[in-house]
Amino acid sequence: MKRVFLSLLAAFAWCGLAQAAPVSSHPYLGVTYITDTVSGHKMHIVEIDLTAPGIGFAVTPASGTLNGIPATSTQTTLNFLNQKQAQVAINGNFFTPVGTTSSITANVVGLAASAGNVFSAFEQQPIVPPVPVTPDQSYAIVQYAPALNIDASNHAAIVHRDSNQPDNKHVLEPVTLYNDISGSAQIVTDGTVTIPTYSASGPLYTNGTYSNSNSWYNTTRARTCVGLTQDNKTLVLFTVDEAGGSSGMTVGDAASYMVNNLGVYNALNLDGGGSTTMAMQDPTTHIGSIVNASSDSTNSPIQGRLVALNLAVYAQPVPEPGTLTLLFVAAGAGAILITSRRKKATRTRIGLNQNNKTLSSRAIST
């Protein structure tokens, strides 16, 4: 059967039917893994069917405090994947401090929750002194940046801060916060790309650090984004590299790709640059590895950056089909119908009689 499949693939390629970029596979039930390269931008994408059986999620939990604020223990995305024995993982929120090379405790920036424990709140910006709080974003992060919530039943939605609640841990949407991650801003809103702008009155604008013509969002870097389709039933995990021959993307370009190529309706920009990591467990060997090209250089060999928060995805193996039928049509040769039941297979050659009106068939041993 293996030889038959390879022969069929070669024949389809000869007929001009071979798959072109992007390349997709289905390593787990409800999980589609896509790689694509466009104009030197190498992307790794995972689409998750939130209605598929066996899909589940985990977010890095709080572990102690730092500066009197609940914090997490930093670890690489790959280590988190392996620790949780999950199938897919990506990095999540921005965090402080950054640039460390050993495991530490770090503060997560923005809303974060793990298994129902909301341990980090929506935040004003900038958060780093001596820059005062202003309507401007703190280089990247807008005030009270929205978050992605996935509840215990895998219902997902982008959620926004309820300003009437002083603890900044409540949202406007009628949902239960369970597993939550957030980033710098909502970059796709109702199918439209929505890149933040500066207020023209804050210090980041007036001191020349950034402006609307020189925005942090217009820099070309590795990016991690997360999005939902319009029906909120498909979760999209998106990364683009700035290493391994890839030139990275602006946030606007990443958002446009997600809208135009992946059907994303709402999306957030997460921590990027050296933090950008996508890790996956091989469905055959069950060994986890980084699938993208990490641009972090603090660890050797490169295993990805230590980050404060990761999102892991659980999924079940793809079930082996009881019966698989393929129909291959070759010009002038009729057709070969292949029916496989587990390891036993039969082939039937189907063709036309001389009058070209009557089908005939004969069995072929395997």
Give the mean pLDDT per block of 10 residues along the chain (366 residues).
40 38 94 96 97 98 92 95 98 84 83 98 69 58 94 98 96 98 97 86 61 85 97 98 91 98 98 95 97 76 85 95 48 43 41 46 41
Token pair in block for residue 294: 């990490």
Place of tokens 């921005």: 94
In degrees, rounded to 5, the angle at the alpha carbon of residue 22 between the alpha carbons of residues 19 and 28 is 90
Amino acid type, 263: G
In this prediction, residue 136 carries a pLDDT of 55
pLDDT tens-place string over residues 160-189: 999 999 999 999 999 999 999 999 999 999
Residues near 62 by Cβ (< 8 Å), separated by ≥ 6? 70, 71, 72, 114, 117, 119, 120
For residues 146 and 180, is the Cβ–Cβ distance under 8 A?
no
Strand partners, 18: none
Quickly list H helices, 89-220.
203-206
Judge whether 269 and 223 are in contact, CB under 8 Å. yes
Rg (CA), the chain: 24
Q: Indicate the domain borders of the chain.
A: 23-314, 323-364
